[in-house]
Amino acid sequence: MLKVNQNYLKLPGSYLFSDIAKKVKGYKEEHQGQEVISLGIGDVTRPLTPTIIKALHDAVDDMADIERFHGYGPDLGYAFLREKIAEFDFKRRGCEVSADEIFVSDGAKSDSGNIQEIFAETCSIAVSDPVYPVYVDSNVMAGRTGTYDPASTRWSDVVYMPCTKDNDFVPDLPSKTPDIIYICSPNNPTGKALTRDQLQSFVDYALKNRSVILFDAAYEAYISDENVPHSIYECEGARDCAIEMRSFSKNAGFTGVRLGYTVVPKNLCDAEGNSLYALWSRRHGTKFNGASYIQQRAGEAVYTTEGQREIAGLVFYYMENARTIRNGLTSAGFTVYGGVNAPYIWLKTPDNMSSWEFFDYLLHKAQVVGTPGSGFGPSGEGYFRLTAFGSHKNTRNAVERIVSLA
Ligand code: MLT
């Protein structure tokens, strides 16, 4: 008898950003001609930089040449890109990661959703709360999360690590020992970045308890504080307990190009000595034919001197937006967090509005779209996320509109 994967039926509602897109579409259809500003999904708005565009064009030209044409690429990514990543993202920061421990992919979303496949269904997971919804949802799909309680919006088998104003949005160590710990720093959605000591305490905990940390560093380019590590491998012992995922989306504007990578150290094993590297290689080889040659050449260009200068310009541009939002909303009396080492601003909803009430209020009264904090987990209720990835003009206008309501 044909039967769907019953775990999928447990997922409440649709994916957060699809729900938002549907609401905004409905609003626009009913209010034609009104200009809606989106500071919702963290999608970049600046065009690709000249060095990247040239690399893309050159790679397309390669594909038109009989000598330089490329068909299927190597499973794990082209050496020309993996070597640059190892050198620039790790060796230069004193981290021991070799090129062949880097698995090139089409982005951190798919890697962070897929990586759980190499762990047993019986493994328990811990997530900071609020959290990027992909981590929990992909584990729901794999049957690891137990039952859902709509009243508390919690899954019975997930260990939540609440991040609230009381702990300054820094998760406490898990209350119950999990097998897998998801950490995203700088954090989506709160914008909080863990210091070296804070991250080291998670590494120490994972080593002591034989847990694995799945570390999402998609926003590392936004770190300005020297005391905040860009990679978990800056922490002692992390090679024995951590997998790291990275993206070219937020630093180099590749949300539409697609490119990312995951680092799985060769020495990383489960409790029975099975190599996680071997399993992820096997999974990659079976289910993935690689990011295209063209994407990977564009990724390589990110590491040139010009490429690095240009992407620093992108980060600077978006962080100006973060300042505009933080300063504008703070002066208007909002309680605002994040936006310092991260392109997300996390604000308390005013007048005890729920996250979705505030979403509707802003959409209808100011035509500004943000992301309801409750969509990221139970501790996100009463909060709201704004992204700094808009244009300067839209960001200024959005802030003016929100402030005029206060
Ligand atoms: C977000 O808005 O949380 C991110 O853009 C989503 C993503 O990177 O997939």
Percent of the chain with pLDDT over 90: 98
Task: State the closest ligand 1 atom to the C-alpha of 132, by its place in the atom list counted from 1.
Answer: 3
Query: Which residue has the CA at smallest separation from atom 4 of ligand 1?
Result: 42
User: Which pLDDT does position 271 carry in this prediction?
Assistant: 95
Ligand 1 centroid distance, CA of 293 (Å): 24
User: Which pLDDT does position 387 carry in this prediction?
Assistant: 98
Query: Which residue has the CA at smallest separation from atom 5 of ligand 1?
Result: 42
Q: Look at residue 99 and tell me whether its pLDDT is greater than 90.
A: yes
How far does the chain reach from its first CA to its final CA, in angstroms? 58
d(CA 139, CA 315): 32
Q: Look at residue 54 and tell me whether its pLDDT is greater than 90.
A: yes
Ligand 1 centroid distance, CA of 255 (Å): 9
Contact present, 135 and 182 (Cβ < 8 Å)? yes
Q: Over the stretch 210-241, which tens digit does the pLDDT of each residue have?
A: 999 999 999 999 999 999 999 999 999 999 99
Provide the whole-model pTM.
Answer: 0.97
Which of 7-16, 21-30, 379-388 is least confident?
A: 7-16
pLDDT band at 179, cuts 50/70/90?
Answer: very high
Ligand 1 centroid distance, CA of 42 (Å): 5
User: Which pLDDT does position 14 carry in this prediction?
Assistant: 82
Q: How far is CA 136 from the centre of its chain?
A: 13
User: Which pLDDT does position 89 carry in this prediction?
Assistant: 98
| Ligand 1 pocket, residues with Cβ under 6 angstroms | 41-43, 109, 132, 188
Instruction: Determine the 3-state secondary structure of 358 from DSSP.
Output: helix
d(CA 339, CA 307): 24
In this structure, are strands 368-369 and 154-155 parallel, antiparallel, or unpaired?
unpaired
pLDDT band at 262, cuts 50/70/90?
Answer: very high
On the question of a cis peptide bond just before residue 150, with omega within 30 degrees of 0, the verdict is: no
Query: Which residue has the CA at smallest separation from atom 1 of ligand 1?
Result: 42
User: Which pLDDT does position 405 carry in this prediction?
Assistant: 94
Q: Over the stretch 322-360, which tens digit does the pLDDT of each residue have?
A: 999 999 999 999 999 999 999 999 999 999 999 999 999
Q: Look at residue 13 and tell me whether its pLDDT is greater than 90.
A: no
pLDDT band at 15, cuts 50/70/90?
Answer: confident
Q: Over the stretch 110-127, which tens digit does the pLDDT of each residue have?
A: 999 999 999 999 999 999
Task: State the closest ligand 1 atom to the C-alpha of 40, by its place in the atom list counted from 1.
Answer: 2
Ligand 1 centroid distance, CA of 208 (Å): 32
User: Which among 376, 386, 389 is positioned nearest to 40, based on CA atoms?
Assistant: 386
Instruction: Determine the 3-state secondary structure of 36 from DSSP.
Output: coil
Ligand 1 centroid distance, CA of 192 (Å): 16
Write the single-letter amino acid at 363: L
Ligand 1 centroid distance, CA of 41 (Å): 6
Strand locations in 130-275, DSSP E?
Answer: 148-149, 154-155, 158-162, 180-184, 212-216, 242-247, 260-263
User: Which pLDDT does position 378 carry in this prediction?
Assistant: 96
Q: Which of 15, 17, 20 to mutate to test the pocket of ligand 1 (most atoms within 8 A of CB)?
A: 17
